[in-house]
Amino acid sequence: MMLNMKLKVIIFLSKIIFLEKIILFILRRNQIYSKTLRAYFKKVRNIEVGTFSYGCFTKDIPNGTIIGNYCSFADGIKIFNGNHGIDWATTHPFLYNTTLGLVEKETINRYKLVVGHDVWIGGNVIILPSVTKIGNGAIIGAGSVVTKNVEPYSIVAGNPATHKRFRFEREYIDILEEKKVYNLTKAEFIKNMDKMYDINLFHKINN
């Protein structure tokens, strides 16, 4: 109840543009934990951000994006969910952008990106509309341009981003998916921290 009331006040105040910037600046200081910030992005921007994820509360994450738990987003990440019309007489947004007043509804396709749990995306990464899924545990190297879906626990980098290697052998990936570290509460995480540094102890993680 208190969260809902707080959210209503924030949404009302944020309609004044400069106040929104101030409010988001304040909320982002506690972004790893803030339920209010997550509720705001879900309600106002239709962006879902999971528990303990951070760095993803920016204007460069498009509406409809879903981000899992324990994700780490560095600065400068840009996610695109649509392209200009390349087969039309002009690529200008007059032909598709409703805010410019010449069309009543969008004439381009929009795509939604789902980012799995425990994903680390490096600085200044560009993710193009052709990407709809980034799997659990994936890592995207800084400065990469991602043009296709990223497999779980894979490391990709470059322009265009290509697969470099998997973080672990299959047996350890299966263990991590079974243990679901990304669903642990903070208390459960603390209890299991000593087992997370050593690949040979992953099987002892207990949630």
In angstroms, the CA 26 to CA 3 distance is 16
Q: Any catalytic annotation for residue 84?
A: yes
Domain ranges for the chain = 1-45, 59-167, 169-207
In angstroms, the CA 203 to CA 10 distance is 44
Q: What is the mean pLDDT of residues 108-122?
A: 97
Q: At what angle do helices 35-45 and 2-14 cross, to 10 degrees?
A: 50
Report the percent of the chain where pLDDT is more than 90.
85
pTM of the model: 0.87
In angstroms, the CA 141 to CA 161 distance is 8
Taking a C-beta distance cutoff of 8 angstroms, is the pair 176, 192 a contact? Answer: no
Query: pLDDT by residue (tens digit) across 42-60?
Result: 998 999 999 999 999 999 9
Token digits of residue 126: 């560009």
Q: Is pLDDT of 18 > 70?
A: no
Token digits of residue 118: 């425990």
Q: What is the pLDDT of residue 22?
A: 75
Q: Is pLDDT of 15 > 70?
A: no
CATH code of 59-167, in short, is 2.160.10.10
**pLDDT class of 21 with cuts at 50, 70, 90:** confident
Q: Is pLDDT of 207 > 70?
A: no
